[in-house]
Amino acid sequence: MKTVLTVMLVAAEASGDGLGAGMARALKAKLGADNVRFVGVGGAAMAAEGVVSPFDIAELSILGILEGLKAYPRVVRRVRQTVALAAAEKPDVAILIDSWGFTLRVAKGLRALDPSMPLIKYVGPQVWASRPGRAKTLAASVDHLLALHSFDAPWFEREGLPVTVVGSSALAKDFSGADPARLRERIGAAPDDQILLVLPGSRPAEIAHVMPVFEDAVNILKADCPGLHIVIPVADTVAETVKARIAGWPHRAHVLEGEEAKLDAMKAATVALACSGTVTTELALAGCPMVIGYRIGATTYAILKFLIKTPWVTLFNIAARDFVAPEFIQSRCTGPELAKAIAFRLDHPEVREQQVTAQNAALDLMGRSLVHPSETAADAVVKVLREKGRL
């Protein structure tokens, strides 16, 4: 083995930052912390594992086609900066995490820089839902794919791209240390008080589109039930924006930062109002019934509605092929509609129990595993490095 292996990790969003941090920890455990170093692009979680990002990834958290077009010059500039970092650091392997548009451009830049460098994509585009041609594009751009779900693999293997199914890290979220009583004490809630957990997303564009609607729903619910506790965990990418909005609310909301507080809240909540995304899987694992809301720009939605072939947007709903948790998308995502669905669950404990049971069944269909996905992913990376003669 080389004296020190250099691994480049590239993540452009909060969820990818978490995956990158998990990968770094797993590779340190397998290879020895003194035998591997990390360079690349990431957020706070990856920084804690030694990845010094040359820029703030919050500016790459882009949602929507029009927003993407406006941000294109900035994205191109950051792609060049990422490739320049690789030129300076000469990594033995690059692991490009999620964020299809950005990481695909980085892959092409790295391939031109060093055609022999192994390129591994961690999380492929959801070609089973829309734009299946991206499978062929990815196969021509990287050497290996680390897929989250078994139903991803055939789409890419048909194009000749080797795939390792590692599972979703959300499915391996560890709630053993979560303490709902600690959360209740923190916010001054009695054991039988109801708590609404509000999760408006981790991207600035999600906050812009989703948060106003969630605010309307919360205001309606608080008017009918003044004793309802509102708890809002925030991602570091949008923390200041969310705090600024909540400062103007006419009622109190408890803003939480940090993973421990978020997990406590997920276990303590009576019901959650969640933006579509990885967090819905985490909520299901915590045994929390939820209502899902999502909005994007009108033009982007019109295009995606034409492209996307599945009626569901939530992964466990897709696995169950049913609306296990209700989804309120775009025009249906309104304050009154969300408030009505949440109030129904707050008022009917049997409905909450039925939903949690159905969510658990859907998680089983998604493939809950005792082995953490980061370990499986790290094993796959080591295998690729050995096959390529880099380890």
pLDDT higher than 50, residue 183 = yes
- E-state strands within 137-228: 144-147, 163-165, 195-199
Average pLDDT over residues 120-127: 94
Signed CA dihedral, 68, 330, 312, 341: sign only: positive
The percentage of the chain sitting over the pLDDT mark of 90, rounded to a whole number, equals 76
Q: How far is CA 132 from CA 54, 97, 151, 217, in A?
A: 33, 19, 13, 36
* 180-366: CATH topology: Rossmann fold (3.40.50)
Distance of alpha carbon 98 from alpha carbon 81, whole angstroms: 18
* 5-167+370-387: CATH topology: Rossmann fold (3.40.50)
pLDDT higher than 70, residue 46 = yes
pLDDT higher than 80, residue 108 = yes
Domain boundaries, the chain: 5-167+370-387, 180-366
pLDDT of the residue at 306: 64
pLDDT higher than 60, residue 2 = no
pLDDT higher than 50, residue 364 = yes
Averaged pLDDT of the chain: 92
pLDDT higher than 90, residue 338 = yes
Please tell me which residue, 349 or 371, carries the higher pLDDT value. 349
pLDDT of the residue at 1: 46
Distance of alpha carbon 105 from alpha carbon 113, whole angstroms: 12
The H or E element containing residue 327 is strand 327-329
Topology alike, domains 5-167+370-387 and 180-366: yes
Q: Which of 34-48, 111-125, 169-183 has the lowest mean pLDDT?
A: 169-183
Q: Which of 180, 178, 195 is nearest to 268 (CA)?
A: 180
Distance of alpha carbon 385 from alpha carbon 377, whole angstroms: 13
pLDDT in tens, 15-33: 899 999 999 999 999 999 9
pLDDT of the residue at 301: 72
